[in-house]
């Protein structure tokens, strides 16, 4: 090396060291908080240091940082991961962030097609987002030539896809459509069999085979719910457990309490029994006694009272807040819109949450009328409600178990399809800095059936990939740190749009 060059290198060394030291300074350190990590069972006062979107250390001493925040008396937990979130827009993301959610995924009904859905949210999202491949959406594209409904909007749509079977000869086309969506990065396949009652058992079985080939989970709203013999929640679970066993597809049964109603313990026994015999099957519940869905959907086809064990008065019309009668039911069903259904026993959510592997998921998503959010209070309050009412007030489950159900368990559900989920749902060095800081003494849902669009209380700070989205219980504006959660994108080259009859 020429002497001059060597001198330059030596002269540069202290500067390089200085840069290294400065870059070792954390961006943010949360100090004096009670840190919960549901994987290692850490429950202790620690300093959590964040740099470049990642957690870099969890220590008893306090490292240097550009932004040091004292969170004494508060809990620092992994940000909540909601596997069942229909509200995939900026207003809903705000309500979710104020409820501690850092990742919201539309997995029950999914979306179809996949690529444009992700493209629309990339770089613009407050929290992390993702979706499964929509079985009803793919059906609608085949039978109605229409794939314009995004996410759960498909269940508000009408058309042949609701009540027409797919001929056996056309099942390979359905499989191909679902394959393309998975190759585009869908996190699995989502289906609401109850909403497409004409989907035959053979069709559902074929869809499970697609999921199995991709090692992708299949998220199912069962064919039947409630207590009617041979057409209730037990029969619904038995169908999909058989398909999972026969194909090897990982299975996730959505909202077990609104499927099982008073038979929820039997559904849990079926799911736990299948898992004990080696099947990869999981489930979730929301912490409310009412469900919600579109009044025009097939769920309310004749006989719904017997199926759900309800009467008209148990249905709340969200647009006006009124309870329905036979007359108003018929009128609003023709008009279409969101209804809340009081049908779940008080005991069902307790039974579900006491079952260790059962996750918390909201099934939420506000719709909009005249620009105002309307819908079920679960859209804003699910996670704070579990922490405030099920943990603190009623002591149904421990704080660590509740956090595990909202973080580690949903992350693990998706690790095989998106390996980056191994870095979420944990407070560990190297994990993504998706964090929620809440006050365990005051955290509470404020959203009610009468006034659902209320932010939760006691959620103090929320960070997504190291960026504050909630700070001092206030939404931060002008930030979009949310990233896509998605499976491997393996489709090459993209098929021509006309080859699938897409619009």
Cα 29 to its chain centre, rounded Å, is 28
Beta strands in 378-480 (DSSP E): 435-438, 459-464, 467-471, 474-475
CB-CB contact of 409 with 78 (8 Å) = no
Question: Residue 221 or residue 446: which is nearer to Zn ion going by CB?
Answer: 221
- Shortest distance, position 254 Cβ to Zn ion, whole Å: 5
**Long-range contacts, 70-74 (Cβ 8 Å, 24+):** 70/31, 70/32, 71/30, 71/31, 71/32, 71/33, 71/437, 71/460, 71/461, 72/31, 72/32, 72/33, 73/32, 73/439, 73/441, 74/33, 74/34, 74/437, 74/438, 74/439, 74/440, 74/460
* Nearest distance from C-beta of residue 193 to Zn ion, angstroms: 10
Among residues 221 and 404, whose Cβ is nearest to Zn ion?
221
Q: Which residue's CB is nearer to Zn ion, number 294 or number 391?
A: 294
If binding is defined by CB under 5 A, does position 46 make contact with Zn ion?
Answer: no
Please tell me what DSSP assigns to residue 499: G
Helix or strand run (H / E) with residue 290: strand 290-294
Least distance (Å) between residue 296 CB and Zn ion: 15
User: Most distant CA pair in the chain: distance in Å?
Assistant: 95
Nearer residue to Zn ion within complex by CB, 136 or 466: 136
**DSSP character for 445?**
-
Task: Name which of 138 and 259 has its Cβ closer to Zn ion.
Answer: 259
Binding mask 187-226 for Zn ion (x = CB under 5 A): ----------------------------------x-----
- Smallest gap from residue 211 Cβ to Zn ion (A): 18
Is the CB of residue 356 less than 8 Å from the CB of residue 295?
A: no
In 3D space, the residue among 112, 123, 145, 101 whose CA is nearest the CA of residue 360 turns out to be 101
Other beta carbons within 10 angstroms of residue 472's beta carbon come to 9
3-state DSSP call for residue 277?
coil
> Is residue 329 helix, strand or coil?
helix
CA distances from 133 to 4, 105, 118, 150 (A): 62, 12, 12, 11
Q: Considering beta carbons, is residue 47 or 191 the nearer one to Zn ion?
A: 191
- In the complex with Zn ion, the residue whose CB is nearer, 51 or 221, is 221
φ, ψ (nearest 5 deg) of residue 281:
-135, 135
By beta-carbon proximity to Zn ion, the closer residue of 263 and 463 is 263
Report yes or no: 100 and 435 within 8 Å, Cβ to Cβ. no
Nearest to Zn ion of 221, 378 (CB atom): 221
* Minimum CB distance to Zn ion, residue 162 (Å): 15
Distance CA 281, CA 275 (A): 6
Angle made by CA atoms 298, 205, 171, in degrees to the nearest 5 = 85
The residues in 361-390 that bind Zn ion, with binding defined as CB under 5 A, are none
CB of 94 to Zn ion, least distance (A): 23
Smallest gap from Cβ 152 to Zn ion, in A, equals 8
Of the pair 93, 195, the CB lying nearest Zn ion is at 195
| Antiparallel, parallel or unpaired: β 359-360 and 128-134 | unpaired
Question: Smallest distance, Å, CB 151 to Zn ion?
Answer: 12
Q: Which is nearer to Zn ion, 107 or 386 (CB)?
A: 107
CA distance 314 to 292: 11
Give least dist CB 325 to Zn ion, A.
Answer: 25
Q: Nearest distance from residue 353's CB to Zn ion, in Å?
A: 18
Q: How far is the CB of 363 from Zn ion (least distance, A)?
A: 6
Judged by CB under 5 A, the number of residues near Zn ion is 1
Contacts of 497 (CB under 8 A, 6+ apart): none
Cβ-proximal residue to Zn ion, closest one = 221
Nearer to Zn ion, 233 or 388 (CB): 233
Contact pattern from residue 414 through residue 443 relative to Zn ion, giving x for each residue in contact according to CB under 5 A and a dash for the rest: ------------------------------
CB of residue 100 to Zn ion, shortest distance in Å: 22
User: Please, what's the b/e burial string for 152-186 (b: 16 or more CB within 10 A of its CB; e: otherwise)?
Assistant: bbbbbbeebbbeebbeeeebebbbebbbbbbbbbb
Q: Which residues bind to Zn ion, rule: CB under 5 A? A: 221
């Amino acid at each position: 090396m020429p002497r001059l060059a060597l001198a330059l290198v030596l002269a540069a060394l202290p500067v390089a060291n200085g840069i290294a030291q400065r870059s070792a300074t954390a961006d943010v350190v949360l100090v004096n908080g009670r840190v919960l990590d549901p994987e290692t069972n850490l429950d202790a006062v620690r300093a959590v240091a964040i740099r470049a979107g990642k957690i870099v250390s969890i220590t008893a001493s306090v490292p240097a940082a550009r932004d040091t925040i004292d969170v004494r008396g508060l809990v620092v937990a992994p940000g909540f991961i909601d596997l069942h979130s229909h509200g995939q827009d900026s207003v809903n993301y705000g309500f979710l962030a104020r409820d501690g959610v850092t990742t919201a995924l539309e997995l029950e009904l999914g979306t179809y097609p996949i690529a444009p859905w992700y493209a629309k949210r990339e770089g613009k999202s407050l929290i992390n987002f993702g979706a499964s491949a929509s079985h009803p959406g793919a059906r609608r594209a085949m039978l109605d030539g229409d794939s314009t409904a995004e996410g759960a909007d498909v269940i508000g749509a009408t058309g042949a896809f609701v009540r027409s079977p797919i001929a056996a000869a056309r099942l390979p086309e359905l499989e191909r459509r679902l394959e393309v969506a998975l190759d585009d990065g869908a996190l699995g396949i989502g289906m609401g069999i109850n909403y497409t009652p004409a989907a035959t058992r053979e069709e559902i079985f074929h869809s499970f085979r697609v999921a199995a080939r991709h090692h992708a989970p299949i998220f199912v709203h069962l064919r039947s719910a409630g207590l009617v013999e041979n057409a209730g929640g037990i029969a619904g679970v038995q169908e999909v457990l058989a398909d999972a066993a026969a194909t090897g597809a990982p299975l996730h049964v959505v909202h077990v309490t609104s499927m099982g109603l008073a038979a929820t313990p039997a559904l849990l026994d079926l799911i736990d029994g299948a898992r004990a015999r080696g099947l990869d099957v999981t489930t979730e519940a929301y912490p409310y006694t009412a469900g919600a869905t579109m009044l025009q959907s097939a769920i309310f086809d004749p006989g719904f009272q017997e199926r759900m064990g309800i009467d008209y008065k148990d249905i709340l019309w969200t647009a006006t807040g009124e309870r329905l009668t036979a007359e108003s039911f018929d009128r609003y069903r023709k008009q279409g819109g969101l209804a809340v259904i009081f049908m779940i026993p008080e005991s069902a959510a307790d039974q579900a949450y006491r079952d260790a592997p059962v996750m918390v998921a909201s099934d939420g998503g506000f719709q909009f009328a005249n620009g105002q959010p309307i819908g079920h209070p679960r859209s804003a309050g699910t996670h704070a409600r579990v922490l405030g009412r099920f943990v603190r007030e009623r002591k149904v489950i421990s704080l660590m178990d509740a956090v595990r159900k909202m973080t580690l368990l949903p992350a693990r559900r998706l690790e095989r399809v998106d390996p980056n989920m191994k870095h979420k749902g944990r407070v560990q060095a190297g994990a993504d800095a998706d964090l929620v800081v809440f006050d365990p003494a005051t955290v509470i849902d404020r959203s009610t059936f009468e006034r659902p669009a209320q932010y939760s209380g006691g959620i103090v700070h929320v960070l997504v990939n190291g960026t504050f989205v909630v700070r001092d219980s206030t939404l931060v504006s002008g930030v979009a740190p949310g990233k896509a959660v998605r499976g491997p994108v393996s489709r090459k080259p993209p098929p021509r749009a006309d080859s699938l009859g897409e619009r």
